[in-house]
Amino acid sequence: MKRGTHAGLKADGGFSLNVMTEEEFRQIHLASLEILEQTGVFVEDDSPLDIFSDGGCKVDRETHIVKIPPQIVEEAIASSPEVVPHYARNPEHDFMASPGRFGFVNFTEGIKYNDPWTGEYRDPTKKDVGDVARLVDAMDEIVVYDSAIAAMDCPQETYVLHGVEAALLNTSKPVGCEAIDTWELDKCVELAAIAAGGMDKLRERPFIGFGTCAVSPLKLPRDATDVIIGSARHGMLNTFVSMAMSGGSSPVTLAGTLAQHNAEILSGLVLSQLTERGAQFVYGSSTTAMDLRYASACVGSPECAMIGAGVAYIARQYRLPSYIAGA
């Protein structure tokens, strides 16, 4: 089992990055609670509306707006596990996401591919998925294989399943899946259960996980809620990400963007915990600033780094493992 390099130890001196004070975090937290209680989030599908309603949230069926009381948010934070194991088919590649530890994972999901042998820039194939999975499997620096590229040569209705199959056949590390609805998620779980030798064995050591994201500002679309609910019910971990752009789909200020980002992630956390108390949840971020000249996301920018540091700090205050995108 790998626990990752230790980071974030407090020290009296030396270099450190303090993106916010504890009081500033408290103000962002309170602002997020106010957003969730007063403004609420738009929830597209009826099934999650039922879960929110049964859990004590205020649901407007006509507008699909869910308003979440602060105590329900606090309960969800408290019930979410602090340590989230990322199991692998080979136990030597198990990775334990725990406080103060970090590891690296490839990002998702490329729709174009630079062929390393010919130099051609083209659509990726299922064979390419397997090749990339084998590359990740050989790299000690990467602890989880996430769906790096899509198997674009397969039918659109099933290309996600083909990608999962290719990954499972070519890496013994934990595998991230890109399912976007209940049917795809269930089928991904079935594939993994076959590889594990049965559903019971997969539940004991779930070596696949799922990821989805909110639509900023403050929307939980059907694909996101399907994955959140399905992951919780199957006992698989879920990484929930906001992809807000400061100055575009979120406030231009760092504090405003973090407050909105946090509200979006907490809404997903609440849905996860109301579905299955104690469900494994990773606090995710692909939030950055918008380039006001080109209306594009600034990834790898100083603003992205500052937002990522802020998100990591917030997740640590909640005792939640975090997933921060951007390099």
275 pLDDT band (50/70/90 cuts)? very high
Model confidence, pTM: 0.92
Give the torsion sign (CA, 292, 257, 56, 318): positive
Round to whole Å and give the CA distance between 303 and 168: 36
Asked if the structure places residue 13 within a domain, the reply is: no
Residue 200 neighbours by CB under 8 Å, 6+ apart:
none
d(CA 240, CA 263): 12
* In a domain? residue 4: no
On the question of pLDDT at 115 being above 70, the answer is yes
6 forms beta bridges with 101
- Asked whether residue 32 is domain-assigned, the answer is yes
Q: Report yes or no on 261 lying in a domain.
A: yes
Q: Cα separations (Å) of 15 from 11, 95, 157?
A: 9, 28, 50
Domain that residue 127 falls in: 24-324
Per-chain mean pLDDT for the chain: 93
Say which CATH number the domain at 85 has. 3.20.20.480
Asked if residue 195 belongs to a domain, the reply is yes
Task: Give how many domains the chain has, as a whole number.
Answer: 1
Q: How would residue 34 be classed by pLDDT, with cut points 50, 70 and 90?
A: very high
Nearest to 230 by CA among 269, 179, 196, 270: 179
Query: What's the pLDDT band for 18 if we cut at 50, 70, 90?
Result: confident
Q: Which amino acid is at 74?
A: E
Q: Are strands 41-43 and 65-67 parallel, antiparallel or unpaired?
A: antiparallel
Mean pLDDT of 284-289: 94
Above pLDDT 90, what percent of the chain? 86
pLDDT average, residue stretch 129-152: 95
Residue 16 lies in a domain: no
8 A C-beta contact, residue 161 and residue 185: no
Q: Does the N-terminal peptide bond of residue 91 adopt cis geometry, omega within 30 degrees of 0? A: no
Q: How far is CA 63 from CA 152, 190, 218, in A?
A: 37, 36, 13
Identify whether the C-beta of residue 322 lies closer than 8 Å to the C-beta of residue 311. yes
**Rounded to an integer, what distance in angstroms lies between the CA atom of residue 7 and that of residue 100?**
5
Q: What pLDDT is stored for residue 293 in this prediction?
A: 86
Kind of pairing, strands 322-324 and 281-285?
parallel
214 lies in a domain? yes
Residues 6+ apart with CB under 8 A from 209: 86, 144, 174, 175, 176, 177, 231, 236, 237, 238, 239, 280
Residue 319 — very low, low, confident or very high, per pLDDT cuts 50/70/90?
very high
Asked if residue 306 belongs to a domain, the reply is yes
Instruction: Tell me the pLDDT tens digit for each residue of 209-234.
Output: 999 999 999 999 999 999 999 999 99
